[in-house]
């Protein structure tokens, strides 16, 4: 299986706060993964701290 996390940091990388915002996203969504079976087809939209959708994670079958 393959786990993919894709995040769009926008044109300004959160106004220069990319490390802080990406760290928050990774902590939140990393902790939230326990609520999923993590099988192909699982996934979810990802939001930044302003509750804007900025990407998604997904599990896909091996190629």
Distance CA 56, CA 52 (A): 12
pLDDT in tens, 10-22: 999 999 999 999 9
**Strands of the sheet with 2-7, listed across from one edge:** 2-7, 53-60, 43-47
Residue 21 confidence (pLDDT): 94
Q: What is the pLDDT along the chain (63 residues), one digit of tens a residue?
A: 999 999 999 999 999 999 999 999 999 988 989 999 999 999 999 999 999 999 999 999 987
State the average pLDDT for the chain.
93
Tell me the pTM: 0.84
Distance CA 62, CA 48 (A): 29
List residues bridging with 56 in a β-sheet.
Answer: 6, 45
Residue 16 confidence (pLDDT): 92
The tokens for 63 are: 């190629």
């Amino acid at each position: 299986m393959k786990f993919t996390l894709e995040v769009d940091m926008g044109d300004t990388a959160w106004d220069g706060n990319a490390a802080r915002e990406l760290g928050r996203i990774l902590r939140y969504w990393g902790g939230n993964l326990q609520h999923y079976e993590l099988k192909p087809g699982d996934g979810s939209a990802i939001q930044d701290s302003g509750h804007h959708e900025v990407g998604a994670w997904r599990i896909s079958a091996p190629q």
